[in-house]
């Protein structure tokens, strides 16, 4: 799930600053969004997918 960070965050081998859009597991995305540290990013559907 893609989220946009509202605050800076870092792990052992990665980091994200405010405004960065990152892809994380749905459980982690939910936790970060509920805590106010991030917001969900709407997934864009491709034109090919919309034709189906």
Tens-place pLDDT, residues 8-20: 999 999 899 999 9
pLDDT at position 35: 97
In sequence order, the 6+-apart residues with CB closer than 8 A to the CB of 26 are: 1
d(CA 3, CA 5): 6
Sequence spans of domains, the chain? 2-43
Q: pTM for the complete prediction?
A: 0.77
Q: What's the DSSP call for residue 43?
A: P
Estimate to the nearest angstrom the gap between the alpha carbon of 6 and the chain centroid. 10
With beta carbons less than 8 A apart as the criterion, state whether 24 and 32 touch: yes
């Amino acid at each position: 799930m893609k989220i946009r960070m509202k605050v800076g965050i870092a792990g052992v081998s990665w980091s994200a600053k405010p405004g960065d859009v990152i892809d994380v597991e749905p459980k982690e995305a939910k936790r970060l969004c509920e805590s106010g540290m991030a917001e969900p990013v709407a997934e864009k559907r491709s034109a090919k997918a919309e034709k189906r």
